Amino acid sequence: MTAPERRTHGLHGTCVAKDGQGVLITGPSGSGKSDLALRLILGSAQPPFALVADDHVPVDQGPDAPKALAPARHAGLIEVRGVGLVRVPHVASAPIVLAVSLRPWTEIERYPQSRRNEMSIAGFAVPQIEIDAMSPSATVRVRLALSLLDDPSRLYGADE
């Protein structure tokens, strides 16, 4: 019997990981994906995040969750606008447990608890939040959402 074929997809975005949990950051070009990732990786909060992939995220369709992979040629490299490619702490892979969609502050619903946001990634429904990457609290919002994943009633509101 042969092993099932693994399917790998590529996504436009940036993926970081903390404690083995991957966070996929998506948004239009120039929306701040790499900037937000850089602040999560090199910021002062502990424990820090590590880079999985920047700009193009290969995603393996795993058995339990989509898994972001570091591209071999660019492992550990992140684009820092105005500086160039910079090497940062990185990991080879991480299951994607949270998706962060970047949008302008004015387009984000104030109380999204009325519905559960999810992004479909490689056949899996992954919880999704929307934030403005340039908000001073953007990194705190990502950390908070990640910490609330085990308690959906706190992440999505008491009506879940």
| Rounded mean pLDDT, 12-39 | 95
Burial of 28 (0-12, 13-18, 19+ CB in 10 A): exposed
- What rounded mean pLDDT belongs to the chain? 87
d(CA 120, CA 142) in angstroms, rounded, equals 19
17 pLDDT above the threshold of 60 = yes
106 pLDDT above the threshold of 60 = yes
User: Taking phi first (over 0 means left), then psi (-120 to 50 degrees means alpha), and beta for anything else, what does residue 139 get?
Assistant: alpha
Token readout for 126 is 């992954």
User: What confidence score (pLDDT) does residue 5 get?
Assistant: 44
For Cα atoms 43, 41, 85, give the angle at the middle one, nearest 5 degrees: 115
2 pLDDT above the threshold of 50 = no
Nearest to 34 by CA among 98, 82, 95: 82
pLDDT digits (tens, 9 = 90+) for 75-96: 999 999 999 999 999 999 999 9
d(CA 150, CA 35) in angstroms, rounded, equals 27
